[in-house]
Every structure is written in C-alpha cells, then in structure tokens.
Amino acid sequence: MKAAFQNNLLNILNNQWQGMDMNFGRLQGYVPMEKNIVYFRRGNDELSLNITNACPNACVFCIRDYDLGWGVSNLYMDRDPDIKEILGAFDQEAQWISEEGTSIKRVKICGYGEPILRFNDLASIVTHVKKKCPKTTIQLTTTRWPYFRFISQDTAPLRELKAAGLDIIYLSLHALDEEQYKRLVRPGITTYDTNAFSDSLRFARATREAGFQLKLGFIRVGAVDELGIKALAAELDAEYELREFEK
C-alpha cells in the first residue's frame, strides 16, 4: 500500500522536480489521505496553510514520521492542492472565523512539507490573504535552500513577495555549520547537497535585503550552542526561536 502511494506521488512530482528525491514522511501511505489545507495549532486567530507534503529534506526530528499533523489535523494529502483550492479553503475558514467574532492575526504558509517548492503560487496566496485580511501578519516557514536548486539563482523575485504583502520569513535552520546541518536536516535525503547550508544563509541575507522580518528556527536536539545561535541571529539582524523537540 505504501509503495503504491509513494509511486503515485513521485510520478506527479517528478514532472516538477527532476532529479531530486522527495520525502513525504514515514507515515505516508499508512494513513488515510485527506485534504486539510487549513489547520489551527494556536487558536482561531492563527491560521496555517498546508500547501504541499513534498520536501527535499529528511530532518532527524521530522514530526511527519510519527504524527498526522501536530495532533490537530491529518495533514497528509494525496496531491498538492491547486491555487483555487487553497484560496477557497482560506476564504471558507476566514468567513467562519469572522462570524465567530475573531480576527485572524497571523497566517502561516508552511504545510506538511517545504512550501518554497510552490514558489510560483506564493505571491497569489499572499496577495489574496492580504486583500481579505489587510491587518493580518503573513509568514512563510521554509528551509530556503531549495529556492536556489528549484526556483532561481536570482533573488529579485523575493521582492515581489514583499510587494504582495509577505511580512515574515521563518528560516528553519537548525544548525550553525555544514556538518551539523547535514546531520540534522539531511538536505537531499539520500544524496547530501553540499551547498544547502550556505544557500540557506545566502537566502537569509537576501531576505533581509528585500526588507523582510527574519526569524531563525532551531530545534533543541542534543547539545545546543545558544551563544552561537545568538551571534548568528545578530549577524543576520534576525530574531531566533529555540524550540523543544516535539514527540
């Protein structure tokens, strides 16, 4: 059963991401597939968008290996939702939240995968959300290095996302050097991408140049050099978050 699901998903994605393995989490194929595009983890005023399950990383702490979706929703999908489905799901939930008398303070574009793979759809999503909820803070959560592998070597398109209304880029970095990044994030899954860590930092600097608020994310796994994290955050003019390993 798992092999059938994986083969179907890989056949779909191979048309987009030639030559790169994609990770869908160890539970993929063993759990029912649903279409939960919108989910809530921290109350009705913070909404997250699940736009892809595909990821070119195999993080050692990946929650997809043991949970359907942070205990709040089944976020496993049989395919990526198209842009119409994403915007429709957002509109439906935004209307329900409004009728409940709550304002959406934050929208996170993250998903149960790597949303930067949907880069060509991000500006449309951000523009739509900002038009519906102009006071809402919009955040993109990403490991970023896949931008240079799959999207472009030019960082100018980032300014289009800024113009569309994206406020924060949350960089799931998790490491302070290439060797630690290789061990924890495992970019490339089976074939280590030696440029991944440097490209992630390169993207971080481009983020600041484009005027985004930047936040670095780290998971507390084993010994953690918090002084090193603080120094890197200061160098990049960024905030940082050190989270506990959720399991």
**Which of 103, 104, 111 is closest to 85 using CA atoms?**
111
Mean predicted lDDT score pLDDT of the chain: 89
Stretch 10-27: mean pLDDT, rounded?
64
What's the rounded Cα separation, in Å, for the pair 216 and 236?
Answer: 9
The pLDDT score that the predictor gives to residue 110 is 92
All residues at 6 or more sequence positions from 157 whose CB lies less than 8 Å from its CB, including other chains? 119, 151
The pLDDT score that the predictor gives to residue 1 is 40
CB of 86 closer than 8 Å to CB of 13? no
What's the rounded Cα separation, in Å, for the pair 156 and 138?
Answer: 20
pLDDT class for 247, splitting at 50, 70, 90? low
The pLDDT score that the predictor gives to residue 172 is 95
What's the rounded Cα separation, in Å, for the pair 215 and 35?
Answer: 29
What's the rounded Cα separation, in Å, for the pair 203 and 166?
Answer: 15
- Amino acid of residue 116: I
Does residue 107 sit in helix, strand or coil? strand
Residue 197, pLDDT > 70, answer yes
The pLDDT score that the predictor gives to residue 199 is 95
The pLDDT score that the predictor gives to residue 109 is 97
The pLDDT score that the predictor gives to residue 246 is 66
Residue 223, pLDDT > 80, answer no
pLDDT class for 14, splitting at 50, 70, 90? very low
The CA–CA distances, whole Å, from 101 to 38, 45, 94, 147 equal 19, 10, 11, 38
**Which of 10, 26, 22, 111 is closest to 70 using CA atoms?**
111
Does residue 242 sit in helix, strand or coil? strand
Stretch 227-236: mean pLDDT, rounded?
97
What's the rounded Cα separation, in Å, for the pair 241 and 230?
Answer: 10
Domains of the chain (ranges, CATH numbers): 2-244 (3.20.20.70)
Q: Please give the structure tokens belonging to residue 88.
A: 């429709």
Burial label for 189, CB within 10 Å (0-12, 13-18, 19+), is middle
